[in-house]
């Protein structure tokens, strides 16, 4: 029982820590949390969904695929609770689980002070700590990716297959498995002058198995193309698609401010590069480069830089004074990031900001009538409070773009307030007379308010509901 003391203490300690951050505010930090926990609740009460009509202008409306299937299955037990509480507890659970698994992997690698590396894992980057508080499959996908790498290095081929398979069922960026495979293969070729064909076969088989042996095959392929390939094409183009701030480019100062210690760990670890850690170096380098290009990859860069750092630095003898200075620096950064995380949590949006508008629509519109909403990010909260109505799109604009490119750009222009007489076009092209507008769409709201054929039914500080009467 003694050997389980550290992982249990780590899990419970961080569960309390992340739980404190979650419950320090009545709000939810992440919009998508509303969708994920509501979806898990529907799975609990109605079984595994085979269709999803709540996105009428999306490829998921006609051919539904749950790209987070394994994560949603694990969310179901939480959905027996109050759903807001459940979303917070789930986020705390999976973040704590990541810390614990990271420690166990380091222990298997015989890393000195593995518990200390694990403690600092979520605290060395404010951006990473911020994303770990999301009620999304981020932490679970990182766990599986770390385990894929661990099993690759241990030549545990069946385990590589299983973890790769589950990652495909968990999160669309499962393709990062190929980065791990490429790094491991290149390192082995360089060191041993041979290709581990068995590793390649089991890894690829796990990916293909997860895609094909899937409750949503073949619809999942089209959905993954939209959320994966199409998104990547967007990142390297100038299409004007407002996908997410997560896909934006970080400023150099912003990256150093949020994750400077991670960069320092990487640079110091490079100085102590050893052949046996070549694969870990390649993986950490890949994610570090990606983090300088885009905001989101920091969630993968931090754990793999810390893993590489632990593998490289734990073997060197550090003078006691240097060690104490490093520990003090890590502690100062960690405390600053914790303070920032707490302060940021206090500014989380009110969980009920769209409730009045959503409930009005549920009570005053025909069953399954479509609601035009001017931002795809409105969907999770509307869906959470109101499954009576159907909507246009959610989670990513690429589902709507793949469904009908012309309709997407028409919707986009209307939402930005760039089209005159929007009500007439909404009624004709989107086949609805019900319109939801949040406080960010002022231009659209002004045009609707000036239209004599449009009646405003609800007007709160966060949202408005209009009905076309002409």
pLDDT digits (tens, 9 = 90+) for 179-224: 999 999 999 998 888 899 999 999 999 999 999 999 999 999 999 9
Contact between 72 and 171 under an 8 Å Cβ cutoff? The reply is: no
What is the model's pLDDT at position 315?
79
Please give the model's pTM, rounded to 2 decimal places. Answer: 0.94
Q: Provide the token pair at 220.
A: 């999942």
Cα→Cα distances 155→160, 161, 169, 185, 203, Å: 8, 11, 23, 12, 11
What is the model's pLDDT at position 86?
98
Q: Does residue 246 carry a pLDDT above 70?
A: no
What is the model's pLDDT at position 2?
56
What is the model's pLDDT at position 358?
97
Please give the distance of CA 371 from its chain centroid, rounded to a whole number.
26
Q: Does residue 249 carry a pLDDT above 90?
A: no
What is the model's pLDDT at position 243?
53
Contact between 42 and 77 under an 8 Å Cβ cutoff? The reply is: no
HEC-encoded secondary structure of 134-167: CCCCHHHHHHHHHHHHHHHHCCCHHHHHHHHHHH
A 10 A CB-CB count for 421 gives 10
pLDDT confidence tier of residue 389, bands split at 50, 70 and 90: very high
| Non-local CB neighbours of 152 within 8 Å, separated by 6+ positions | 160, 180, 181, 184, 199, 203, 279
Listed residue (353, 373, 360) closest to 31, CA to CA = 353
What is the model's pLDDT at position 238?
54
Q: Cα Rg for the chain, rounded, in angstroms?
A: 24
284-336 confidence digits (pLDDT tens): 999 999 999 888 899 999 999 999 999 998 878 878 888 899 899 999 999 99
Length of the chain: 470
pLDDT confidence tier of residue 226, bands split at 50, 70 and 90: confident
Instruction: List strands edge to edge, sheet with 371-373.
Output: 371-373, 434-438, 463-468, 454-459
- Report the pLDDT averaged over residues 159-185: 97
- Report the pLDDT averaged over residues 165-176: 96
Q: What is the DSSP string of 31-94?
A: THHHHHHHHHHHHHHH-S-S--TTBTTSHHHHS---TTHHHHHHHGGGGGS-HHHHHHHHHHHH
What is the model's pLDDT at position 247?
65
Residue holding tokens 């949390």?
33
Q: Does residue 242 carry a pLDDT above 60?
A: no
pLDDT confidence tier of residue 245, bands split at 50, 70 and 90: low
| Non-local CB neighbours of 367 within 8 Å, separated by 6+ positions | 388
What phi and psi, each to the nearest 5 degrees, are found at residue 67? -80, -5
Distance CA 403, CA 399 (A): 6
Residue 357, helix vs strand vs coil:
helix
What is the model's pLDDT at position 159?
98
What is the model's pLDDT at position 262?
95
Distance CA 125, CA 52 (A): 37
Helix ranges restricted to H, 346-393: 355-364, 379-385
Cα→Cα distances 76→71, 87, 465, Å: 9, 11, 32
Domain ranges of the chain: 2-30+65-345, 355-468
Vertex 250 angle, CA 248 and 252, to 5°: 160
Q: What is the DSSP string of 303-344?
A: HHHHHHHHHHHTTS---HHHHHHHHHHHHHHHHHHHHHHHHH
- Report the pLDDT averaged over residues 85-109: 97
Distance CA 76, CA 86 (A): 10
- Report the pLDDT averaged over residues 123-146: 96
Distance CA 336, CA 425 (A): 50
50-89 confidence digits (pLDDT tens): 999 999 999 999 899 999 999 999 999 999 999 999 999 9
pLDDT confidence tier of residue 250, bands split at 50, 70 and 90: confident
23-39 confidence digits (pLDDT tens): 999 999 889 999 999 99
Mean model confidence pLDDT for the chain: 93
pLDDT confidence tier of residue 170, bands split at 50, 70 and 90: very high
| Non-local CB neighbours of 415 within 8 Å, separated by 6+ positions | 374, 375, 441, 444
What is the model's pLDDT at position 336?
95
367-381 confidence digits (pLDDT tens): 999 999 999 999 999
402-448 confidence digits (pLDDT tens): 999 999 999 999 999 988 889 999 999 999 999 999 998 999 999 99
Reported as type and span, the H/E element at residue 3 is none
What is the model's pLDDT at position 322?
84
Listed residue (25, 120, 336) closest to 33, CA to CA = 25
Q: Provide the token pair at 169.
A: 């069922």
What is the model's pLDDT at position 232?
74
């Amino acid at each position: 029982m003694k050997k389980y003391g550290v992982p249990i203490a780590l899990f419970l300690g961080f569960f309390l820590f992340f739980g404190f951050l979650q419950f320090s505010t009545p709000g939810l930090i992440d919009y998508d949390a509303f969708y994920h926990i509501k979806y898990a609740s529907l799975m609990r009460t109605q079984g595994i969904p085979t269709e999803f009509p709540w996105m009428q202008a999306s490829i998921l409306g006609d051919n539904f695929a749950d790209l987070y299937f394994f994560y949603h299955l694990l969310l179901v037990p939480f959905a027996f609770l109050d759903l807001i509480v459940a979303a917070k507890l789930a986020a705390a659970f999976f973040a704590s689980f990541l810390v614990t698994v990271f420690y166990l992997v380091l222990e298997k690698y015989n890393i000195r002070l593995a518990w200390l590396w694990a403690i600092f894992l979520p605290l060395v980057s404010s951006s990473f700590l911020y994303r770990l508080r999301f009620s999304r499959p981020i932490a679970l996908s990182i766990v599986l990716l770390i385990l894929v790498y661990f099993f690759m290095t241990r030549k545990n081929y069946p385990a590589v297959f299983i973890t790769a398979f589950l990652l495909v069922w968990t999160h669309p960026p499962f393709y990062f498995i190929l980065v791990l495979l490429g790094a491991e293969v290149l390192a082995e070729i360089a060191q041993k002058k041979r290709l581990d064909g068995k590793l390649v076969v089991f890894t690829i088989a796990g990916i293909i198995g997860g895609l094909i042996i899937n409750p949503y095959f073949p619809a999942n392929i089209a959905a993954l193309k939209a959320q994966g390939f199409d998104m990547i094409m967007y990142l390297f183009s100038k299409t004007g698609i407002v996908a997410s701030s997560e896909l934006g480019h970080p400023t150099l100062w912003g990256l150093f401010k949020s994750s400077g210690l991670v960069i320092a760990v990487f640079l110091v670890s490079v100085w102590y590069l050893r052949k046996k850690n070549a694969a870990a170096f390649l993986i950490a380098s890949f994610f570090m480069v990606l983090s300088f290009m885009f905001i989101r990859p920091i969630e993968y860069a931090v754990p793999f830089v810390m893993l590489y750092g632990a593998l490289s630095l734990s073997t060197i003898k550090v003078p006691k004074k240097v060690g104490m200075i490093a520990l003090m620096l890590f502690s100062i950064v960690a405390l600053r990031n914790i303070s920032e995380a707490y302060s940021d949590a206090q500014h989380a949006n009110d969980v009920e900001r769209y409730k009045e508008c959503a409930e009005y629509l549920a009570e005053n519109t025909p069953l399954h009538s479509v609601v035009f909403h001017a931002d795809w990010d409105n969907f999770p909260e509307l869906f959470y409070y109101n499954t009576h109505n159907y909507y246009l799109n959610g989670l990513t604009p690429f589902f709507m773009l793949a469904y009908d490119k012309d309709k997407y750009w028409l919707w986009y222009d209307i939402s930005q307030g760039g089209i005159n007489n929007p009500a007439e076009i909404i009624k004709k092209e989107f086949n609805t007379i019900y319109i939801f507008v949040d406080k960010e769409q002022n231009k659209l709201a002004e045009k609707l308010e000036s239209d004599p054929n449009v009646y405003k039914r609800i007007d709160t500080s966060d949202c408005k509901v209009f009905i076309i009467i002409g």
